[in-house]
A and B are shown apart, each in its own frame.
Chain A
């Protein structure tokens, strides 16, 4: 895509086409235990991460970055991208978290897992805020792309990436205030710490891509 010739509408269309598919992770037939809920959530996250990489590669400008910068951006933002996706899926369902179409959790189910209720409440509160502000789908797409492009604590220098940024601004310019708020709402620290503690306590085995991403975050934090 020649970014200089792309209209904001076309850019939003590109983001729409980049959207990952819905991931399914069936709910266990028995009531949740701490281990089974964490297992469902980590399985889902691992599957979603694979799709997230495909999504990122379709964000204009991203693949022009060095592999090193691509890794750095994704390692910084993956939990926030998972969270905003969850919030968007849950926006029309007060009190529920739609992790997947077949994994809908009520707030109180968070009581199964030590420490997760606080995170569920935070996610539900952020989702209600999105609902109150009437977050539109195209705004969601733009905010999610911004989370990716803004995620590294180091400056990622790329002419194409800054032009991507410029393309993201017009669709969001209608309501810059609320959209800046959306960016501030999405914080992943608590979720990351919780997942790390669940892994350290051996409540759930964390493997594959999710393990890599969690380790990357942990190493950077030290």
Chain B
């Protein structure tokens, strides 16, 4: 979902 994608940064 959207929030997962947001936390794709290290």
- Do A and B interact? no
